[in-house]
Structure 1
């Protein structure tokens, strides 16, 4: 191999250092640096990170004039910049602005530039603002075909928001895709058509998308993170043996994860105005029997309702957080006391947090049950925290049951302040409810001999 002459080597080194410096600048700063020398004047045209948002495109006013509408300035600003750039290997291409179907010709041109430049990280977020229109029939249709073949194999992460996505059965591309995010995307065709090409997918988020169900027959062997929120699914069926984190927020639908033995953390939020306890004790427990840390948001009624006992156990569960909306009359307690059975399914549970949101005030006088519950003690439970404690019969009964049946309890905290993110009453009513809850906790629990481990805030 021929040895480089000193001057050639120094020029190569200088060029390499300049590209490193360039990658640490914003596009606006890189353009300004182009006036320093002839080398910089050409170098900025190979800028590796193109991020077009309201914030980054403010400087485009000087190009198209200040009297043009913001959307026009944004589009023309991007077109002006892309005309001056060279199609080269891009690290990132980001467009975040509320654009619609009528802007298809411009967006197509940008995406074609991104595909030709073999971009690694692509973000196309056309979500409307707080006051913008969210009519789905005015969505832009994302051209997946532009990323077929070698163009798609360069993409490592893809994030789409507020677009149409048509998935043909013969799709070819995204062989190296590791991260996929879909938000407010209307999907036509089977989503699983995308995944045969995504063998190395590690991170998947699908939120507020229109789709019948998420059923993927192929095994996603490298998938570690899965988030599915507000998609009105009929079923969640996915094979991901190495899944470690699940975030699910939807209706009470069948969840089939096919033995995710490595899952360590899960968050489940159930949107239903009815009692969800049976679903939690069956579908959720069956799907997440290996989880170590679990958070569940659901509604429960104060009145006793029959439920089927589940032989499945949460054998690895150590940390459990329950965010519950308590509905029903304040005099009933049996419905909420069913939570004690849920704890029985987690024999190694160590930390319990219960955030409660009540829709009634404490109006009845409660006395502890004379006959203790036959449930076995919770031998490993060490810390308990209950928030939103208004002193309802069901809350007092549950707290008393836990204090009485927890053999290794080190500390139990009762906090009248609502820690749930659901409905909160008016400030005046909340102050009264919290005052009553605090007084009842002192009167009914503190004086029963539990002051050694009990803390009332």
Structure 2
């Protein structure tokens, strides 16, 4: 044997610094945020690598030392927290969630190299404006009504807004929602209905909108809105496939009776060729609720299912605001839906959730609205 065959081959030495940057980023992204940050002291190259961590979570407890609970220490911790957070430099960040950030007044995600796709902002009470990134595709927001300032046409396809102090959902959709949302496919909006919206004559079109979910609360006893106004949404979203309308109305609103409320109104025909699924909850049989439901049923040529539930499923306030007599409203809604909607249902698509009088007379409102939760609570109490 020659020396070449007997000599033990040496394996090449692979160093972390020799790895491609995308592999280093993948390694860093699997480390906890504190450990990832510590790698920045290794070299000038590593100092920038950790900024590409794709999943960042910042809190006072992870990013600032534990101090006493005095007001001076709280201010010091706030100052250190602000100084230590690298977000404008986190170019690979795809999801950012900000919750209960009480000192935040303005948020800008429009950095030129930003890769942010999903932004969620909730309960930042001093926030006055959000400047959106052009590449953003999903936005979730809960808080007061503030302007959204996009620098140009957005790629947003999914928007979920839970607005406090807004006075009209239609007013927000056609006035406050940026007209640059050209690609919007899913819109979920929750707000109170405190006034009737004055709609522009030429309202904007949502040409790609496929799923619209509205959660409306009308917390005042005086009737100030007209739900038949919402028929304009069929025209504004010609490709809409699924429409959800979840409502809660106070006890004082009455079910429709022709002798008391006059004949039902009808709008000119407005055929819609794509709407297939409709879900309405909180249907208590008011005149404008019935008129809107009939308009949707008559004009949706491709509808496959219209589910109507008298109970308020998703737009509920706190349970303490529900009156013990609201169950009778649900019974009114069921009877009106059976009498008018089912009579108009020529394609057998209407499905009305049944409310029986004996249930209303024997069960609490909580048991009617949250039967599963009540059963679980009783089971837990009995086992304990």
Match of residue 308, structure 2, among 414, 422, 437: 414
Preserved contact between residue 384 and residue 413 of structure 1 (Cα < 8 Å): yes
More strand, by proportion? 1
**Distance (whole Å) between structure 1 residues aligned to residue 154 and residue 352 of structure 2:** 39
Match of 1:429 in 2: 325
Verify: 1:201 aligned to 2:93, yes or no. yes
Preserved contact between residue 390 and residue 436 of structure 1 (Cα < 8 Å): yes
Verify: 1:390 aligned to 2:284, yes or no. yes
Verify: 1:454 aligned to 2:350, yes or no. yes
1:144-178 deviations in Å (ceiling 9; x for gaps): x9999734632513211246989xxxxxxxxxxxx
C-alpha root-mean-square deviation of aligned residues, in Å? 3.9
Match of 1:236 in 2: 130
1:108-151 deviations in Å (ceiling 9; x for gaps): xxx5x7643x29xxxxxxxxxxxxxxxxxxxxxxxxx9999734
**Distance (whole Å) between structure 1 residues aligned to residue 43 and residue 167 of structure 2:** 45
**Distance (whole Å) between structure 2 residues aligned to residue 162 and residue 343 of structure 1:** 47
Match of 1:320 in 2: 212
**Residue correspondences, number:** 313
Preserved contact between residue 187 and residue 211 of structure 2 (Cα < 8 Å): yes
> SS state of the match for residue 389, structure 1?
coil
Change over 3 Å in CA distance of 1:220–1:450 after alignment to 2:
farther
Q: CA deviation at 1:225?
A: 1.0
Verify: 1:93 aligned to 2:32, yes or no. yes
> SS state of the match for residue 324, structure 1?
strand
**Distance (whole Å) between structure 2 residues aligned to residue 434 and residue 277 of structure 1:** 25
Alignment of 1:242-321 (within 5 A): 243-259=136-152, 261-272=154-165, 274-284=167-177, 286-301=179-194, 304-321=196-213
Unaligned 5+ segments in structure 1 are: 9-88, 95-110, 120-144, 167-184
- Range with bigger deviation, 265-274 or 312-321: 265-274
Change over 3 Å in CA distance of 1:190–1:382 after alignment to 2:
same
Match of 2:19 in 1: none
Q: CA deviation at 1:323?
A: 1.1
Give the TM-score, by structure 2 length.
Answer: 0.68
1:354-402 deviations in Å (ceiling 9; x for gaps): 1112223542534485553136322211111101222222321221221
Match of 2:115 in 1: 222
- Range with bigger deviation, 357-366 or 342-351: 357-366
**Distance (whole Å) between structure 2 residues aligned to residue 267 and residue 443 of structure 1:** 35
1:68-120 deviations in Å (ceiling 9; x for gaps): xxxxxxxxxxxxxxxxxxxxx894337xxxxxxxxxxxxxxxx5x7643x29x
Change over 3 Å in CA distance of 1:359–1:371 after alignment to 2:
closer
Change over 3 Å in CA distance of 1:438–1:361 after alignment to 2:
farther
**Distance (whole Å) between structure 2 residues aligned to residue 266 and residue 148 of structure 1:** 39
